[in-house]
Homo-oligomer: A and B are copies of this chain.
Amino acid sequence: AAPLTIIAGPCQLESADHAQMIAGKMKEACDSVGAQYIFKASYDKANRTSVSGVRGPGMEDGLKMLQSVKDAIGVPVLTDVHWPEQCSIVAGVADVLQIPALLCRQTDLVLAAAETGAAINIKKGQFLAPWDMANIVAKVESTGNTRILLTERGTSFGYNTLVTDMRSLPQMGQTGYPVVMDATHSVQQPAGLGGSTGGQREFAPLMARAAVAIGVAAVFIETHEDPDKSPSDGPNMIYLDQMPALLETLMQLDKVAKAYPLEV
């Protein structure tokens, strides 16, 4: 199996300069440990807990920032889509279109994204079982698109808490498509702060380590040079300057995991 891919970036796009800075540092860190790298950031947080949460630069400006990352840093980019009509526009820039977890059952969105021919990263809804993803995969495949990634990001567990069932990784893998562990959102505490979502940044490396030891294709992890100043998901993003050490550990585990593949 190929070495680990890292999908990383800030939760929200803040500016072209900021996006390039993070993409540049992450590319350097990934290159130095032999990981493939995909830049990730959102142009619109369409489902903020509170109506007053900052939503991002919007699609038009956001796509310009993503294009600037591709041009300046030379890495593929991933971003999420929210309405069917956004898909073809976003696919003009983004290499991977991401279906947000809460929208993974919206047939029109999934089909519109799939029809662009771009790679599609489907995040598993917090309300779904791993095997339910086969139905969504079939929706994408119905368009002829088989460039599919499936992402674990935690499952509802009581109130305001998620739990990650590590069995879901090979279970989703039984579709035949690569599986991604989202180490950031799986440690969210949804609406855990009342008007906003809390998180447990300290557990994101744990989620990544466990998933890599099982043999996932990729880890998704949000990062920021100063998470507490980030406009969203601050409580669960990892400090940018801690990423090189984390990547070093993950690549060591990845080598073992792929030398001794788990059979399920």
Per-residue contact bits, chain A 29-69, to B (CB 8 Å; 1 contact, 0 not): 00000000000000000111111000100000000000000
Beta-carbon nearest neighbor of A132 in chain B? B191
**Min distance, Cβ A26 to any Cβ of chain B, angstroms:** 19
* Contact of B214 with A209 in the complex, beta carbons under 8 Å: yes
Interface string of A156-188 (1 = CB under 8 A from B): 111111011111011000000000000000010
On whether the beta carbons of B107 and A51 are closer than 8 Å, the reply is: yes
In the complex, what distance in Å separates the CA atom of A235 from the CA atom of B79? 38
For the complex, what is the distance from the CA of A169 to the CA of B253, rounded to whole Å?
Answer: 18
Residues in B neighbouring A210, C-beta threshold 8 A: 166, 209-211, 213-214
Q: Among A158, A207, A214, find the residue whose CB has the most chain B CB atoms closer than 10 A.
A: A158
Question: Which of A12-20, A122-130, A221-229 is the interface stretch?
Answer: A122-130
A200 at the interface (CB under 8 A from B): yes
Is A203 part of the contact surface with B, judged by Cβ < 8 Å?
Answer: yes
CB atoms of B260 and A248 under 8 A apart: yes
Q: How far is the CB of A179 from chain B (nearest CB, A)?
A: 13
User: Which residue on chain B has the smallest CB distance to residue A191?
Assistant: B132
User: Would A127 and B126 be within 8 Å (CB), given that A48-B107, A105-B47, A167-B206 are in contact?
Assistant: yes
Q: Which of B111, B128, B165 contacts A163 (CB 8 A)?
A: B165
Residue of B whose beta carbon sits closest to that of A157: B158
Find chain B residues with CB under 8 A from A190 CB: 127-128, 132
Tell me the nearest residue of chain B to A102, going by C-beta: B105
Docked CA distance A252–B257 (Å) = 9
Complex: chain B residue closest to A83, CB-CB: B83
What are 16 A-B pairs at a CB distance below 8 A?
A47-B105, A50-B138, A102-B103, A103-B103, A128-B191, A130-B159, A132-B190, A135-B191, A156-B156, A163-B163, A164-B165, A166-B206, A209-B214, A210-B213, A213-B213, A248-B260
User: Can you add 12 more A-B contacts, CB < 8 Å, to A50-B135, A51-B139, A202-B264?
Assistant: A46-B107, A103-B106, A125-B127, A126-B127, A135-B191, A156-B156, A158-B158, A166-B210, A169-B206, A203-B264, A249-B260, A253-B256
